[in-house]
């Protein structure tokens, strides 16, 4: 199983005024008959509903909050208009472990190319000042930091996962739709872009995958384990989902 960047669940169409909106319906783990509606900063509309609730019942709940949903969408769309694609030039901000750092590009033909986190800035030394070179160096730097930090965080949270008898293999792989995954044989794969998120978000993804070693599906036992090892994990998940548009390549 995996931690998706965007939930891969049932889609439901909903018309509000002249606009056709798409809702992502996911199963609500809590034992309740309430429908929970969330509009995320990337303009996804996610509806958490009990498994036995009909789509008609879900749409009825959504229509009652149609005005609120549209207002949230309008605010987030206005924010997204100001997000411009990365140009990998000095003055941009890039995330690392949940904090933003100014990028400083240094053209130094005779120096070794590389990236340093120095005095609150990400300094990138390149032989030729071009976006592709800066992007490639940053990508390699992020992957190296991800490998080092993820291994350390896995060691730290393993103490909570009492059902894991041996340290699982860990690999780093860029993925477009997943923060992490766990194979049937217990190998954990993590997205290197996750290194841009805060430490608690990294811990959440690792713990999520460790729970899948015990329970491969998102069943009652899985959520019981998640609540045991990370009380309040839902808020951390929401925080990570909200950062997706800022820390993933655009």
Integer Cα distance of 84 and 75 in angstroms:
17
Residues ≥6 apart with Cβ < 8 Å to 36? 28, 47, 48, 49
Per-residue model confidence as pLDDT tens digits over 30-75 = 556 688 888 877 788 889 888 888 888 889 999 999 889 988 888 8
Nearest CA among 182, 123, 172, 119 for reference residue 149: 172
Q: Which residues of the chain have pLDDT under 70?
A: 1-2, 4-9, 29-33, 79-84, 250
Report the C-alpha gap between 174 and 172 in whole angstroms: 7
Tokens of 243: 């950062």
| Cβ-contact 195, 146 below 8 angstroms | yes
* Closest to 12 (Cα-Cα) out of 52, 64, 48, 65: 48
Residue-range domains of the chain with CATH: 2-80 (no CATH), 93-247 (3.30.2010.10)
């Amino acid at each position: 199983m995996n931690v998706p960047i965007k939930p891969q669940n049932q889609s439901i169409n909903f018309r509000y005024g002249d606009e056709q909106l798409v809702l992502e319906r996911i199963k609500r783990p809590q034992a309740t008959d309430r429908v929970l509606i969330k509009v995320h900063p990337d303009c996804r509309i996610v509806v958490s509903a009990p498994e036995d609730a009909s789509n008609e019942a879900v749409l009825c709940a959504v229509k009652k909050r149609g005005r609120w949903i549209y207002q949230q969408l309008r605010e987030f769309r206005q924010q997204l208009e100001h997000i411009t694609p990365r140009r990998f030039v000095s003055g941009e901000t890039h995330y690392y472990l949940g904090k933003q750092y100014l990028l400083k590009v240094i053209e130094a033909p005779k120096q070794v190319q590389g990236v340093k986190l120095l005095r609150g800035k990400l300094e990138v030394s390149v032989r030729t000042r071009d976006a592709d070179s800066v992007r490639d160096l940053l990508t390699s730097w992020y992957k190296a930091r991800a490998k080092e930090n993820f291994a350390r965080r896995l060691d730290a949270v393993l103490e909570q996962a009492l059902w894991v008898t041996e340290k699982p293999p860990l690999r780093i792989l860029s993925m477009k739709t997943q923060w992490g995954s766990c194979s049937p044989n217990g190998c954990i794969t993590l997205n290197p872009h996750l290194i841009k998120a805060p430490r608690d978000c990294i811990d959440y993804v690792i713990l999520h995958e460790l729970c899948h070693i015990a329970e491969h599906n998102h069943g009652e036992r899985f959520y019981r384990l998640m609540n045991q090892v990370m009380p309040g994990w839902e808020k951390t998940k929401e925080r990570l989902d909200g950062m997706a548009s800022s820390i993933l390549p655009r």
